Amino acid sequence: MDYTVLYQQHYHTLYNAVHYIIKDHFLSEDIVQETFIKAYEKSETVKDEQKIGAWLKTVAKRTAIDFLRKQKRCSCDCLDEKLNIACEELTEKHVEWNCFKGEVEKEIRTLKKEQQQILTLKVNNGLKEREIASFLSLNPSTVKINTFRARKILKEKFQQHVFTA
């Protein structure tokens, strides 16, 4: 069997068959090359040399399909890996957030009682200054001043914490 002649006779047919499946020029060329390598390695299994074109086309199509299956399996594995990493990152961020939230709540408890109440109503309940003032029977400007002071105290404590950590 002259492989140069075989290559010249069947290359375009095999390329077209593979490209129809793969839809990528370079990958199609690679798969056709792989087909000819397989043909060379298994040439003794060919019984009727007149049917070698059909045999090569079958080998090429199966090689292309195997490539797609492998690629799909790999992309699923990659997707699973990416999802696992994302879940780990989310869990880590969730833990960090809960720790930070706990530190903030701890620092809020060190504030004056009135400031604690105002911040709790503002942050946890989403109330506006006028609503907080009405709820606690305070002047709206008192609520505004206490909110400002409480935030300033917390900001200073956390800035010190960041620089000492």
Q: Once rounded to an integer, what is the mean pLDDT over residues 46-60?
A: 83
pLDDT exceeds 90 at position 33: yes
Please give the Cα distance from 144 to 128 (Å, whole number). 10
Tell me which amino acid residue 95 is: V
Confidence of residue 164 (pLDDT cuts 50, 70, 90): low
For domain 109-164, is the CATH number 3.20.20.220?
Answer: no
| Highest CATH level, class, for 3-80 | mainly alpha
Closest to 35 in 3D by CA, of 5, 9, 8, 55 = 55
Q: What per-residue confidence (pLDDT) applies to 113? A: 92
Of 154 and 89, the one with more pLDDT: 154
Tell me which amino acid residue 57 is: K
Q: Please list, in sequence order, all residues whose beta carbon lies within 8 angstroms of the beta carbon of residue 32, skipping any fewer than 6 positions away.
A: 11, 14, 15, 18, 60
Contact indicator for 81, 75 with CB cutoff of 8 Å: no
Question: In the chain, what are the domain boundaries?
Answer: 3-80, 109-164
Contact indicator for 147, 129 with CB cutoff of 8 Å: yes
Lowest-confidence segment of 56-65, 83-92, 138-147, 153-162 by average pLDDT: 83-92
Against a cut of 0.85, is the pTM above it? Answer: no
Q: What per-residue confidence (pLDDT) applies to 13? A: 93
Please give the Cα distance from 132 to 121 (Å, whole number). 7
What is each CA distance from 89 to 78, 93, 96, 114, in whole angstroms?
A: 16, 6, 10, 38
% of the chain surpassing 90 pLDDT: 29
pLDDT tens track for 78-114 = 666 777 777 777 777 777 787 888 888 888 889 999 9
Contact indicator for 59, 39 with CB cutoff of 8 Å: yes
Nearest 5°: the CA angle 17, 66, 47 is 65
pLDDT tens track for 112-152 = 999 989 988 888 888 899 999 999 999 999 999 999 999 99
Q: What per-residue confidence (pLDDT) applies to 32? A: 92
Q: Please list, in sequence order, all residues whose beta carbon lies within 8 angstroms of the beta carbon of residue 77, skipping any fewer than 6 positions away.
A: none
Contact indicator for 97, 108 with CB cutoff of 8 Å: no
